[in-house]
């Protein structure tokens, strides 16, 4: 059955803060599903200052379709994670409202807990740290979660009990397009990416990620479809984008990596990477951070234009 492309599932991460690096790694492996708009993800870093965090966590836990429990001794010994979040997650799983998937990070005594009754990932519950190649462990996890996502999206919507997928129309710009939300101009707009719909036709102000003095107005839909900073894309190609592209190509070549290898590591299509290197367009701040990590350079060292 084909899945409904206007529906999206919410994935909740239940994890101990000490396991944050694992959550980050898993998030990167689930990124392709986020880009396909099959899932949105939620974890406690999304809590804004001043919000009562326990209520906020509970609200998201209660509306998620898939709950990933990152299992380690840190998790099992946390009263909040194990005692409160996990119990609520299991109640929803038993009621058929949500799918709970334990992700086994490292060896721990989880099989004796109620988690032992669930189908854990990686396959057969073999902890990620026990795999010789951790990328393969993450790949295994991502593939299985993708299967669950496809199944849930293909289910008839009126199936009793299970939480309904979200309609893309009801999501905010920040949730659906976090990269583009970073170009939102906080000074010129009265609304924020957190309270405007991602599918809104409203015209708003954008602020260039390469140079914050570049501002332009465009509807949200045209920005989503690729209408970027008019200054950078027209007038100053030679000043800004070509040097940055050259910097990127230089880094890649000095590492001895092919365009395919780097595109795969960054999880972008090869023509996107080629476009950056040619100076046709610029990466979003989120992508820039990943590029910097990959090459071990600061944005400035890569030729990223200064403010």
CB of 235 to Zn ion, least distance (A): 9
CB of 281 to Zn ion, least distance (A): 11
C-beta of 161 vs 226, nearer to Zn ion: 226
CB of 35 to Zn ion, least distance (A): 24
Element (H, E) at 173: helix 173-176
Separation of alpha carbons 89 and 84, rounded Å: 9
Q: Is 256 exposed, middle or buried (0-12, 13-18, 19+ CB in 10 A)?
A: exposed
CB of 185 to Zn ion, least distance (A): 12
C-beta of 93 vs 214, nearer to Zn ion: 214
C-beta of 162 vs 233, nearer to Zn ion: 233
CB atoms within 10 A of CB 44: 17
Separation of alpha carbons 26 and 34, rounded Å: 12
CB of 216 to Zn ion, least distance (A): 8
Interface contacts to Zn ion, rule CB under 5 A: 208, 210-211, 214, 229, 231-232
Q: Which of 49, 53, 81, 52 is nearest to 67 (CA)?
A: 81
CB of 103 to Zn ion, least distance (A): 40
CB of 298 to Zn ion, least distance (A): 20
C-beta of 210 vs 291, nearer to Zn ion: 210
- In the chain, beta strands by DSSP E: 7-14, 39-42, 66-71, 99-104, 166-167, 203-207, 215-219
C-beta of 57 vs 181, nearer to Zn ion: 181
Beta bridge partners of 76: none
Angle between helices 270-278 and 259-266 (to 10 degrees): 110
C-beta of 99 vs 207, nearer to Zn ion: 207
Upstream peptide bond of 122 is cis (omega within 30 degrees of 0)? yes
C-beta of 196 vs 231, nearer to Zn ion: 231
Q: Which of 180, 136, 134, 172 is nearest to 287 (CA)?
A: 180
């Amino acid at each position: 059955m084909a899945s409904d492309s206007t529906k999206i599932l919410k994935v909740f991460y239940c994890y101990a803060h000490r396991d944050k690096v694992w959550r980050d790694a898993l998030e990167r492996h689930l990124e392709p599903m986020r880009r396909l708009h099959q899932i949105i993800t939620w974890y406690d870093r999304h809590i804004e200052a001043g919000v009562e965090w326990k209520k906020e966590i509970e609200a998201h836990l209660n509306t998620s379709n898939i709950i990933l429990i990152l299992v380690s001794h840190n998790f099992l010994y946390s009263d909040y994670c194990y005692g409160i979040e996990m119990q609520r997650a299991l109640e929803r799983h038993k009621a058929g409202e949500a799918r709970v998937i334990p992700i086994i990070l490292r060896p721990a005594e989880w099989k004796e807990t109620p988690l032992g009754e669930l189908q854990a990932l990686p396959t057969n519950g073999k902890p990620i740290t026990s795999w010789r190649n951790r990328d393969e462990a993450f790949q295994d996890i991502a593939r299985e979660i993708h299967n669950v996502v496809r199944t849930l999206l293909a289910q008839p919507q009126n199936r009793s009990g299970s939480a309904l997928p979200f309609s893309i129309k009801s999501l905010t710009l920040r949730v659906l397009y976090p990269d583009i939300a970073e170009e939102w101009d906080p000074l010129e707009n009265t609304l924020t990416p957190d309270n405007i719909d991602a599918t809104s036709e409203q015209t708003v102000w954008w602020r260039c990620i390469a140079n914050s003095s570049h501002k332009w107005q465009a509807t949200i839909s045209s920005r989503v479809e690729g209408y970027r900073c008019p200054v950078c894309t027209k007038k100053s190609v030679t000043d800004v984008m070509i040097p940055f592209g050259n910097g990127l190509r230089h880094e890649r070549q000095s590492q001895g990596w092919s365009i395919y290898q780097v595109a795969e590591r960054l999880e972008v299509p090869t023509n996107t990477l080629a476009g950056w290197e040619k100076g046709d367009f610029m990466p979003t701040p989120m992508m820039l951070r990943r590029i910097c990590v990959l090459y071990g350079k600061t944005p400035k060292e890569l030729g990223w234009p200064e403010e």
